[in-house]
Amino acid sequence: MPDYLDDLRLAHVLADVADAATMDRFKALDLKVETKPDMTPVSEADKAAEELIRGNLQRARPRDAVLGEEYGIEGTGPRRWVIDPIDGTKNYVRGVPVWATLISLMEAGEGGYQPVVGVVSAPALGRRWWAAKGAGAYTGRSLTSASRLHVSKVGRMADASFAYSSLSGWEEQGRLNGFLDLTRTVWRTRGYGDFWPYMMVAEGSVDLCAEPELSLWDMAANAIIVTEAGGSFTGLDGRPGPHSGNAAASNGLLHDEMLSYLH
């Protein structure tokens, strides 16, 4: 199996650079915010963080392609870095600390590109999570100061904690009834939103989470962290990985049962 430690180290450096840029503008009274064509917000900090990450990748990995939320795809080849400079921009612009930079390296293989490295850095929460293919998932302050992540062992829906982002997307896709049936079946539900539920699945503090509409940059880093922690990450159609335009993550024991409600 390839060794992705050098790529993981680079991803941490990229996250450090992004953290400095995003924290510098977090809660700034003069923060500039625009509305994109899809009616979602983008701040000057989103753009600045992605530009910094791209600049560092151009110097460190000039042959690799880069796909980012704000500036699209650049380059070709079997290796592709996937960047969400601020996942949770709506939180960011309102001063809510639940947002993160998502960085993933994907490699071409059977079934298309698959994530092999992932870093999720939430500086306003003082948290970071990461994983590399075959090397496990971790959380901590640095590569040398970390704890390994493991999903929960909860095996009954009646004992499970389920996290989600909002109700509106489920209703728009005609999946609301199944979603509500699932919420009535589990022990506990919470609308944490964005990257955080996936990290809690990896940590074992949440057992299930799902979102009805996502982009690749929302999912790639989360997917490898959940799976390397021993969990399952698929689309609502059950397809493994971050390619279905939506996501379901779990400790693995309850995954098929969750999908039976949501698909």
Listed residue (172, 184, 182) closest to 212, CA to CA: 172
Fold of 157-262: D-Maltodextrin-Binding Protein; domain 2 (3.40.190)
Q: Answer yes or no: is 53 a known binding residue.
A: no
How many angstroms separate the Cα of 63 from the Cα of each of 14, 79, 136? 17, 8, 27
> Which fold does the domain 4-148 belong to in CATH?
Fructose-1,6-Bisphosphatase; Chain A, domain 1 (3.30.540)
Q: Where do the domains of the chain lie?
A: 4-148, 157-262
Per-residue model confidence as pLDDT tens for the chain (263 residues): 578 999 999 999 999 999 999 999 888 777 788 776 665 777 788 899 999 999 999 999 999 999 998 899 999 989 999 999 999 988 998 899 999 999 999 999 887 899 999 999 999 999 999 999 999 999 998 888 899 999 999 999 999 999 998 888 899 989 999 999 999 999 999 999 899 999 999 999 999 999 999 999 999 999 999 999 999 999 999 999 999 999 999 999 999 999 999 98
**What is the pLDDT at residue 31?**
79
Tell me: the pLDDT tens digits for 132-163? 999 999 999 888 889 999 999 999 999 999 99
- Cβ(225)–Cβ(202) under 8 Å? yes
Sheet holding 100-109, edge to edge: 72-74, 65-68, 79-87, 100-109, 112-122, 127-132, 136-142, 145-148
237 is in an annotated binding site: no
Q: Is 69 annotated as a binding residue?
A: yes
Q: In the prediction, which pLDDT does 235 show?
A: 97
DSSP β-ladder status, 79-87 and 100-109? antiparallel
Tell whether 225 is in a known binding site. Answer: no
Same fold, 4-148 and 157-262: no
Q: Determine if residue 84 is labeled as part of a ligand binding site.
A: yes
Reduced to 3 states (helix: H, G, I; strand: E, B; else coil), residue 226 is helix
Residue whose entry in the numeric block shows the structure tokens 């390296």: 105
